[in-house]
């Protein structure tokens, strides 16, 4: 009996190590798919209410990898007229530094700084996406668990559960945990399920179409569905370009004076 118990404990420990190794490998391969040094284009977000009412926003979007520690993003809105000339600037960091966000409000011609870490960033222009959804998470701040292989929308995926180690961070983001689904063929993140602080399913993220540039992958059609309110947001990225983007457009000066 003792030998059997010892064997089972050793087996469980061995499987745990294998799972940890699988998680590390999957995340490293996923990170390789994200390398777009410069990317710009247009985005359109359709927000569909439970009753079927549709509201749209349109913007120009710019993204630039500054170095291995930082990526900058800029959104310049032109539709609807009520938000025209509104601008959002994001500086995101992978080394533990605080992420920064600034919003330009054309009606008052002022720039407002938003602390993403304290507010969770809020919802992206009233959609089901939060600003935090656009930001890569710091791996060291999260616990992870390998759940095995599953089929998502006909695609074989590795399922990995993750949650912030810090309760305060979970409360700020509004998520108890997430389950991420990485393709077993190219390691890209094609789906994610968000669970609230009571561990009930909150919303689902599904990638429908992608841009694939020699192994670098970017989602061009995404659906975010809040299953609790039955509100849905469909984001499409089009007219994209990978030409060099000058760094000076990712500044508050440009945000104000463009």
Say which residue, 9 or 29, is predicted with more confidence. 29
Work out the average pLDDT over 193-222.
96
Across the range 209-221, mean pLDDT stands at: 95
Q: Sorting pLDDT into bands at 50, 70 and 90, what band is 78?
A: very high
Residue among 138, 68, 117, 110 nearest 252 (CA): 110
- Among 42-46, 93-97, 235-239, the range scoring the smallest mean pLDDT is 93-97
pLDDT at 30 over 70: yes
Map tokens 């993220």 to a residue. 205
Helix (H, G, I), strand (E, B) or coil at 240: strand
**What per-residue confidence (pLDDT) applies to 167?**
86
The end-to-end CA distance of the chain, in Å, is 75
Taking only the tens place, the pLDDT of each residue in 115-136 is 765 545 578 888 999 887 877 6
Length of the chain: 258
CATH number, domain of 102, equals 2.50.20.10
Q: What percent of the chain has pLDDT over 70?
A: 87
**DSSP secondary structure, 192-237, as one string:** EEEE-TTS-EEEEEEEEEEEEETTEEEEEEEEEEETTTTEEEEEEE
**18-32, 41-55, 75-89, 224-238: lowest mean pLDDT where?**
18-32
- Domain residues for the domain of 51 are 5-257
* pTM for the predicted model, two decimal places: 0.86
Q: Which H or E element spans position 41?
A: strand 38-48
What pLDDT was estimated at residue 69?
A: 87
The mean predicted confidence, pLDDT, of the chain is 88
Looking at residue 139, what is its pLDDT? 66
Q: What is the pLDDT of residue 15?
A: 38
The domain tally of the chain equals 1
């Amino acid at each position: 009996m003792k030998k059997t118990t010892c064997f089972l404990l050793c087996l469980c420990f061995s499987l745990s190590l294998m799972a940890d190794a699988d998680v590390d490998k999957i995340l490293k391969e996923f990170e390789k798919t994200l390398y777009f040094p410069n990317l710009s284009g247009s985005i359109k977000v359709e927000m569909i209410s439970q009753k079927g009412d549709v509201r749209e926003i349109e913007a120009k979007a710019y993204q630039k990898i500054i170095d291995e520690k930082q990526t900058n993003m800029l959104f310049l809105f032109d539709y609807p007229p009520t938000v025209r000339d509104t601008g959002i600037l994001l500086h995101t960091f992978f080394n533990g530094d605080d992420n920064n966000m600034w919003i330009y409000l054309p009606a008052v011609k002022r720039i407002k700084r938003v602390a993403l870490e304290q507010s969770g960033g809020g919802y992206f222009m009233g959609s089901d996406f939060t600003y935090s959804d656009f930001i890569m998470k710091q791996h060291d701040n999260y616990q992870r668990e390998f759940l095995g292989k599953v089929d998502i929308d006909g695609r074989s995926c590795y399922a990995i559960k993750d949650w912030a180690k810090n309760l305060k961070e979970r409360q700020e983001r509004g998520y108890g945990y997430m389950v991420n689904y990485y393709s077993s063929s190219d390691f890209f993140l094609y789906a994610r399920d968000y669970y609230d602080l009571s561990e009930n399913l909150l919303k689902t993220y599904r990638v429908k179409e992608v841009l694939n540039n020699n192994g670098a992958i970017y989602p061009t059609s995404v659906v975010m569905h809040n299953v609790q309110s039955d509100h849905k947001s469909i984001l499409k990225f089009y007219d994209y370009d990978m030409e060099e983007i000058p760094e000076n457009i990712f500044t508050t000066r440009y945000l104000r004076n463009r």
